Structure 1
């Protein structure tokens, strides 16, 4: 089996593949793109049970730009509880997630995601608006329940608005146990 490094190479190899291989690729591609959108939707609607369906049981996380904890392997249950504590304090979220370069290698996959996240917090000291623009580099594994995120590395290109309320909310979480 070939290991693919980008979508273009994978599509070139699929050009002469059997119809069932092409169909399976398309179904996997759609499922992964849908998973990325479900992740954003679950966060925006504060549906943290739905968010939990996006992850395997343990995930590698590096969201240093926004939470500052470095790279860590965490319980997905506890990660989603932390997301609920953080986003639950906000009055509104909007995550625009654009999956790019979905690469599928058997039962594993990866995807680069463009992200534009806006946050609204009425209780802010100053402006209630904060936006960050960046990326997620995600890895996935196929499970019996479908594709699951197993790794999430966040990058931030720039922010606008009141970053202080983001830090205030983050600081209110203390040092969470994510093991």
Structure 2
């Protein structure tokens, strides 16, 4: 593949942001603008999801019960790959459940390792792996039903 242009890099950066905004906004339909239909996502701690519908189901089940979440991305390196591009991006994801016993916050720090492809609709993620590097707080947050506040 040819070198990535500045425009390609910005489009991929926007794609990464769309993912975070979709998760935190609970806009599951927006994930169609992030992943290919046959994408694979390996979420450490939650298993592997094959296909857009399965990926949507995994993140929906993890996040819908929460009162809030906020995904932050930083340090991202995107490079030309064999069939598109590859990228590694640091993340910090904060999860909040007000009814959780033992504290209402659980934070995960990790790295997304992605493969991107250019489609007629723009860049999409075809493979994602989330590797946890550290956690802080109360892991019970991820299994606490949503509060009624």
> Where on the TM-score scale, by shorter chain, does this alignment land: which range?
0.7 to 0.9
Q: TM-score with structure 1 length normalisation? A: 0.73
Q: Residue 109 of structure 1 corresponds to which residue in structure 2?
A: 85
Structure whose residues are more often strand by fraction: 2
Q: Greater Rg, structure 1 or structure 2?
A: 1
Name the SS for the 1:61 alignment partner.
Answer: strand
Structure 2, unaligned runs of 5 or more: 145-149
Partners in 1 of 2:6 and 2:82 — Cα distance?
13
Question: Aligned residue for 1:153?
Answer: 129
**Which SS does the other structure have where 1:59 is aligned?**
strand
Conserved 8 A contact 2:40-2:55? no
Structure 1 residue 50 corresponds to structure 2 residue 53: no
- What does 1:126-141 correspond to in 2, within 5 Å? 126-141=102-117
Map 1:120-131; keep pairs closer than 5 Å. Answer: 120-131=96-107
Distance, in Å, in 2 between the alignment partners of 1:97 and 1:164 is 24
Structure 1 unpaired stretches of 5+: 3-9, 11-23, 170-179
**Structure 1 residue runs of 4 or more that deviate by more than 2 Å after TM superposition:** 104-107
Q: Write the distance in 1 (CA, Å) between the matches of 2:132 and 2:49.
A: 21
Going by fraction, where is helix more abundant, 1 or 2?
1
Deviation at 1:131, TM superposition (A): 0.4
CA RMSD of aligned residues (A): 1.9
What displacement does 1:54 show?
A: 0.3
Q: String of CA shifts for 1:87-133, please: whole Å, max 9, x gaps.
A: 11111011001252211347511110000000001221221101011
Count of aligned pairs between the two proteins:
144
Post-superposition Cα deviations, 1:53-100, rounded to whole Å, max 9, x if no partner, equal 200011222212x31x2xx46121221123122211111011001252
Determine whether 1:40 maps to 2:20. Answer: yes
Instruction: Using structure 2 for the length normalisation, give the TM-score.
Output: 0.87
* Secondary structure in 1 matching 2:85: strand
